[in-house]
Amino acid sequence: MRLPALALAVLMTATPALAVLPGERLSDPRLEERARALSKDLRCMVCQNQAIDDSDAPLARDLRVLVRERLTAGDSDRQVIDFLVARYGEFVLLRPRFGWHTAVLWIAPLVFLLAGIAYLLVVVRRRRVAVVTAPLPLTDEEKARLEAALKP
Amino acid sequence: MMSPEVGHFALVLALALALVQSVVPIWGARRGDAALMATASPVALGQFAFVTLSFVVLTYAYLVSDFSVENVFQNSHSTKPLIYKISGVWGNHEGSMVLWVVILTLFSALVAVFGRNLPLTLKANVLAVQGWITVAFLLFILKTSNPFARITPAPMEGRDLNPLLQDIGLAIHPPLLYVGYVGFSMSFAFAVAALIDGKLDAAWARWVRPWTLVAWIFLTAGISMGSYWAYYELGWGGWWFWDPVENASLMPWLAGTALLHSAIVMEKREALKVWTVLLAILTFSLSLLGTFLVRSGVLTSVHAFAVDPERGVFILAILVVFIGGSLALYAWRAPTLKQGGLFAPVSREGALVLNNLFLTASCAAVFIGTLYPLALETLTGAKISVGPPFFNWTFGPLMVPLMIAMVFGPFLAWKRGDLAAVAQRLTLAFAAAILATLATYAVTTGGPVLAPLFVGLAFYVIVGAILDIAERIQLFRAPAATSLARARGLPRAAWGAAIAHAGVGVMLLGIVGETAYKQETIVQMRPGESIAVAGYDITLQGLVPVEGPNYRDLVARLTVREGGVDAGTLEPAKRVYTARAMPTTEAALKTRGMSQLYVSPGDPGTDGSIALRFFYKPMVLLIWIGTLVMMFGGLLSLSDRRLRVGAPKPSARRVAAAVQPAE
């Protein structure tokens, strides 16, 4: 079932090249490492759900070069991200920013889990109460009296 | 005889039969009329025959390259190898929907044939519900996706199948996945039938479990196969992309796994009835949702969906009717179902509840991550991406407690367990985990700080599963002969569960190895140049053009030496499929133990050089071997006497074996 989307992803890459070409890399290994880390969270916008780090598309290559240019110019990671978001919109981020419009997205899994736990705790408590308030079995003495009373 | 119109007509006849199956048996069940109920079986078999005929006719059109059929024209080519002519049948929208219905009617036919021991009303209701689904999908095909439409004049040559799909992995991936998806329709039909009847007992769970297990095994196989295909075919070495299409298959898998476990509680202890029914409904609903996501085009673009909404709206309607209808029925009827067996929080049941909680929570995380961008864009027009980082942050943490708990579960007693005692019996598993963690810290350099802990977790899961079996057969505590006899007498379901759990650990080991310790080297190489990667010395001998049956390759011929010894060649290639002039990347792989060297070629330079991307992926094969182990566990469990379809009563041998303590 995944095939159409992934096929599409590759179909859209008109001139295939290799993701992260040797020529693109920065000579400073620390900067290059930061560039790689950043490009794993940035989306190749003409691809289906692919990071620019992996993509063959020309746009992805442009973005990779752009990220490296900004880093070389002395930008912090934060600044690079802000720059790209200002230019391409939040669509470029594979990890959506936390904000009013993504609050539900980020919080929902946790809320779901906590709600489940809370529900289970309530059930457990209710059952315990049910056990406590259940009629106690008769004591031996009571049984004897009952039997005596029932005897014709 | 094999004219495409025959196939079309067969679909219409199948629809007529499906309508009969939707109404008559259930009417008979309401009136207690055995004759009406008995119509279900032959009608189901007839439907299967007609749908299969239609599928065969379509396949025949592909085999003889009948390009007057538009579907064949669009997706086939006369020079295409035979196997891809066949797989091309389901490599497109219309054909894949026909395959969907073939499998759906196959399941109905199986119920008709093997369901002799089912109570008559249950069988009639189940088949009627299956009939509803069949009607919906046959209508969908006939109204919006007719695979037999003709074009005149017939073109001389077809457009060929998308080259990416011309691969053996992709040839068998969709059928596997569909058997999984559609298999969950059985659990759904049983759930709805039980709600209609208001009757739900342990026997019901025993009937539902084998069907769920079959679907689960196939879905596991389908997802795993798809993942391996993406790994070697897409050419950038990833094995899971959190792509919406992948998520669409993962969601029913997660819910289905939860269903398998809750059905155990229901069968053994008559508890969690209402929940199990809900899970059965949800699991198939997620299968339908997966079909909708992939088939409606809504994933590519919300706008594309709005512009050409015919198919999308039809599937959406199916979705609303079936999911809404079954949930409404559930809300109305579920309160009438009696809850059974009480249990303490710390017990086998409690552990399985925990399993269900985490599996459904992780399923919810995948669900919201997949659909949120669609919802947000539809409501506000804002476009956001939800990619792997989101899922790694939400899905990942939910899996950890699940894996910790899954080792405890099988050791806990039903009704009331003793956590401290179980922890004591798991000493070896904890020791293995600590040892593995420390060993990983000592051996590896670099890699994420947490990675060794996950290696430890994997060993804990695997050793825990082994201990589970060792405990049951009293290995080393009883004489060897006794242990052997116990091992033989142990129900296959117990073996299956332990093996499947061990498979999860194996898979985790592969995932950690691949994600945390992979090495990557990217170089521009000229012929004659060498490079060292992960203990291999690799030399580029040259770039060689090669002609294939329907493609042209530019092969980068690499020789590999390991420790000075010749270790074979690697031949990654840039491939162009001639019919569509479409380029693809053919990665080359070299396997060492469970690890792989992965080479992906880039474009050749003007100076005779080529860019090459080398990955060394330690333990990567364990990812798929783990899923195979899980499937094997499922198969063993399926072969358990108790679960055998049509054998609801324990056999004499089982009764004799039951002398040993209850599991």
Residue A27 inside a domain? The answer is: yes
Q: What angle do CA B633, B634, B637 make, to 5 degrees?
A: 85
pLDDT band at A30 (very low <50, low <70, confident <90, very high): confident
Q: What angle do CA B429, B431, B433 make, to 5 degrees?
A: 70
In terms of C-beta density within 10 A (0-12 exposed, 13-18 middle, 19 or more buried), how is residue B250 classed? buried
Residue B602 corresponds to which tokens in the numbers above? 């880039």
Residue in B80, B94, B100 with CA at minimum distance from that of residue B157: B80
Residue A109 inside a domain? The answer is: yes
Query: Cβ A109–B384 below 8 Å, yes or no?
Result: no
Domain shared by A73 and A146, yes or no: no
Residue B277: per-residue pLDDT: 92
Residue pair B311/B145 in contact by the 8 Å Cβ criterion: yes
Chosen domain end from A92, A111, A130: A92
H or E stretch at B544: strand B536-547
Q: What distance in Å separates the CA atoms of residue A55 and residue A60, rounded to the nearest whole number?
A: 6
Residue A98 inside a domain? The answer is: no
Residue in B268, B208, B261, B210 with CA at minimum distance from that of residue B663: B268
DSSP B524: E
Residue A52 inside a domain? The answer is: yes
Residue B270 corresponds to which tokens in the numbers above? 């008559």
Residue A97 inside a domain? The answer is: no
Residue B117: per-residue pLDDT: 82
Q: How many helices (H) and strands (E) does chain A have?
A: 6, 0
pLDDT tens digits along B281-327 = 999 999 999 888 887 777 765 555 555 678 888 888 998 999 999 99
Residue among B74, B218, B241, B553 with most chain A CBs within 10 A, to mutate: B241
B357 part of contact set with chain A, CB < 8 Å: yes
Q: Which residues of chain B have pLDDT under 50?
A: 645-663
Contacts of B247 in chain A (CB under 8 A): none
Residue B567: per-residue pLDDT: 87
Q: What distance in Å separates the CA atoms of residue B551 and residue B582, rounded to the nearest whole number?
A: 9
Tell me the nearest-neighbour CA distance from A40 into chain B, angstroms.
9
Q: How many helices (H) and strands (E) does chain B have?
A: 23, 10
Q: What angle do CA B322, B323, B327 make, to 5 degrees?
A: 115
Domain shared by A70 and A116, yes or no: no
B372 part of contact set with chain A, CB < 8 Å: yes
Q: What distance in Å separates the CA atoms of residue B298 and residue B305, rounded to the nearest whole number?
A: 5
DSSP A96: P
Residue B252: per-residue pLDDT: 96
Residue B98: per-residue pLDDT: 95
Residue among B218, B245, B612 with most chain A CBs within 10 A, to mutate: B245
Residue B282: per-residue pLDDT: 95
Residue A115 inside a domain? The answer is: yes
Residue A83 inside a domain? The answer is: yes
Q: What angle do CA B543, B611, B534 make, to 5 degrees?
A: 100
Domain shared by A109 and A44, yes or no: no
pLDDT tens digits along A78-131 = 999 999 999 888 888 888 888 888 888 999 999 999 999 999 888 888 877 665
Residue pair B298/B312 in contact by the 8 Å Cβ criterion: yes
Domain shared by A13 and A43, yes or no: yes
Q: Tell me how many domains chain A contains.
A: 2
β-bridge partners, A118: none
The beta strands (E) that lie in A1-152 are given as: none
The CATH number of residue A65's host domain is: 1.10.8.640
Domain shared by A67 and A19, yes or no: yes
Residue B222: per-residue pLDDT: 94
Chosen domain end from A72, A92, A112: A92
Q: A64-85: string of b/e by CB count within 10 Å (b at 16+)?
A: bebbbebbeeebeeeebbeebe
Tell me the nearest-neighbour CA distance from A2 into chain B, angstroms.
5
Domain shared by A67 and A113, yes or no: no
Cα B361 from chain centroid (whole Å): 19
Q: What distance in Å separates the CA atoms of residue B451 and residue B517, rounded to the nearest whole number?
A: 9
Domain shared by A11 and A75, yes or no: yes
Q: What distance in Å separates the CA atoms of residue A18 and residue B236, rounded to the nearest whole number?
A: 9
Residue B633: per-residue pLDDT: 96
ipTM of the prediction? 0.82
Q: What is the CA radius of gyration of chain B?
A: 27
Residue B69 in 3-state DSSP? Answer: strand
Domain shared by A87 and A25, yes or no: yes
User: What torsion, rounded to 10 degrees, do the Cα atoms B642, B644, B645, B651 define?
Assistant: -60
Q: B318-356: string of b/e by CB count within 10 Å (b at 16+)?
A: bbeebbeebeebbeebbeebeeebebbbbbbbbbbbbbb
Residue pair B595/B509 in contact by the 8 Å Cβ criterion: no
Residue A125 inside a domain? The answer is: yes
Domain shared by A13 and A72, yes or no: yes
Residue pair B160/B77 in contact by the 8 Å Cβ criterion: yes
pLDDT band at A136 (very low <50, low <70, confident <90, very high): low
Contacts of A32 in chain B (CB under 8 A): none
- A41 lies in which domain range? 3-92
Domain shared by A67 and A137, yes or no: no
Domain shared by A16 and A78, yes or no: yes
- Across chain A, mean pLDDT equals 78
Chosen domain end from A70, A92, A114: A92
Smallest Cβ distance to B389: which of A16, A41, A50?
A: A41
**What does each C-alpha distance from B611 to A51, B188, B290, B523, B608 come to in angstroms?**
20, 51, 38, 6, 10
Domain shared by A88 and A119, yes or no: no
What ranges in B334-450 are assigned the alpha helix state H?
348-380, 388-408, 419-425, 427-443
